[in-house]
Structure 1
Amino acid sequence: MEKDYYTTIKKPVEGIYKEKGSKFLAYGFPVQTEEEIKTHIENLKKRYHDARHHCFAWELGLDGNNFRMNDDGEPSGTAGKPILGQIHSFGLTNILVVVVRYFGGIKLGTGGLIQAYKAATADALEKAELIQCTVKKSFSVRFPYNMMNQVMRVVNDEELTINAQKFEADCNMTLAVRESKFESIIDRFQKSFGIEVIEDKEPPIKR
């Protein structure tokens, strides 16, 4: 069975690390899309327009293939990589961490920078409330009103989420189910009751 859940942070968090006059301000955000990520980064750049660096890392999805790191002018591998490393250490996805650096006048060296970005990120994530979310797939069922009891039995037995419903002579319901149970639920509706099922082509819902 494919994994259909993930761990992320419940709400935005902040952390800080100071070293030799430099200040590293870490900001973590739960995110669902790259558009959200872009907005958070742009907002922090405006808020801290006088900072020298706005380094970040993010990851989306369950397969570990959708991520990005950015050193924003720091030596290659000294900022984005340790930020992403902490995201992985905490077992998180659907998250963005931005670390804003104010230079204190003394260079920290490669090792010092890696430690600083790692520590700032860890300080933020250690304060976070972690939550487990499930990935759900959405679909619609169309059926005559006299089959309402059978449909609601499946909805209740399988703990399906009702996103929308319309009851007339022909009824329509838009439902959501954990991705790992999707095929079995579709089979139950179609094979047991002969109910028409229309799969939603939108990306899975992550909650």
Structure 2
Amino acid sequence: MKIVYEGGEAEIVEKKSRFIATVRPVHSEEEAAAFVAEMKKKYWDARHNCSAFTIGDHHDTSRCSDDGEPSQTAGRPMLDVLLKEDIHNAAVVVTRYFGGTLLGTGGLVRAYQKATQEGLQASQVIDRKKGRKLLIGTDYTGMGKIQYLLGQRGLQILDTVYTEKVELSVLVPTEQMEELEKAIVEATNATAQLSWEEELFFATIEKKLQIL
């Protein structure tokens, strides 16, 4: 699931009108409303502060506002960008300083969508995954087989403890759990000890695995 990990800001100019897009991660409708109010206060002298947000694993709550622009020319096009990109738990406010030239309905739609896209590009959008930690206990003979299985699946070892045995800690995406467990059992003739820990979310951020 794609989410905004770190918000950003971008600006475009269309026929002398300035469109400033501010993107922020949000996790509730109240948080989104507070963000919109914050932007309206910051850009109090702007003609329009249009907004859109979507919250939930299945876009359960989505809202948008044209804030005085012609109906369906600002908020809805902005929301469409978030939904098309399948970005969750995110809000965007596009502030418009009027440049004196009317853009027409089509021009407004294109401008608000472009500003939203630029705002997302200026943000850090990550692919959040659901998984669980797997603790694997094995003797040194089974170590190589398990490392091979993990490497095949692109799974990173979080920690390794060496005693008379070896204990590995691995973060496993939910969809790989059943298949990986079966593969380890078969490869080690059921000699490896497997223990699943609590469910969590994680992502690769700047090439590093991070638990969210």
After TM superposition, the score normalised by the length of structure 1 is 0.62
Is structure 2 residue 156 aligned with structure 1 residue 158? no
In structure 1, what is the equivalent of residue 203 of structure 2?
Answer: 206
Could you tell me how far 1:103 is from its partner in structure 2? Answer: 5.1
Change (3 A) 1:41 1:154: farther
Could you tell me how far 1:162 is from its partner in structure 2? Answer: 2.0
Residues 68-107 of structure 1 mapped to structure 2, 5 A cutoff: 68-71=62-65, 73-74=67-68, 77-89=72-84, 91-94=85-88, 96-102=91-97
In structure 1, give the amino acid aligned to 2:11.
Answer: G
Could you tell me how far 1:16 is from its partner in structure 2? Answer: 1.9
Which runs of 5 or more structure 2 residues have no equivalent in the other structure? Answer: 205-212
Is structure 2 residue 8 aligned with structure 1 residue 15? no
Is structure 2 residue 136 aligned with structure 1 residue 138? no
Could you tell me how far 1:184 is from its partner in structure 2? Answer: 0.9
Residues 186-205 of structure 1 mapped to structure 2, 5 A cutoff: 186-190=181-185, 192-193=187-188, 194=190, 195-202=193-200, 204-205=201-202
Change (3 A) 1:141 1:44: same
In structure 1, what is the equivalent of residue 59 of structure 2?
Answer: 65
Could you tell me how far 1:125 is from its partner in structure 2? Answer: 6.3
Q: Check the 8 A contact 1:15/1:25 in 2, yes or no.
A: yes
Could you tell me how far 1:141 is from its partner in structure 2? Answer: 1.5
Could you tell me how far 1:81 is from its partner in structure 2? Answer: 1.2
In structure 2, give the amino acid aligned to 1:161.
Answer: Q
Q: Distance in 2 between matches of 1:165 and 1:66?
A: 40
Q: Quick one: which of 52, 56, 60 aligns to 2:51?
A: 56
Root-mean-square deviation (CA, aligned residues, Å) is 4.5
Could you tell me how far 1:82 is from its partner in structure 2? Answer: 0.8
Q: Check the 8 A contact 2:131/2:199 in 1, yes or no.
A: no
In structure 1, what is the equivalent of residue 162 of structure 2?
Answer: 167
Change (3 A) 1:145 1:52: farther
In structure 2, what is the equivalent of residue 34 of structure 1?
Answer: 27
Which string of whole-angstrom CA distances, capped at 9 and with x for unpartnered residues, describes residues 104-146 of structure 1? 6898887775454234335x26966998847352322231443
Which runs of 5 or more structure 1 residues have no equivalent in the other structure? Answer: none
Could you tell me how far 1:28 is from its partner in structure 2? Answer: 4.5
Could you tell me how far 1:83 is from its partner in structure 2? Answer: 0.3
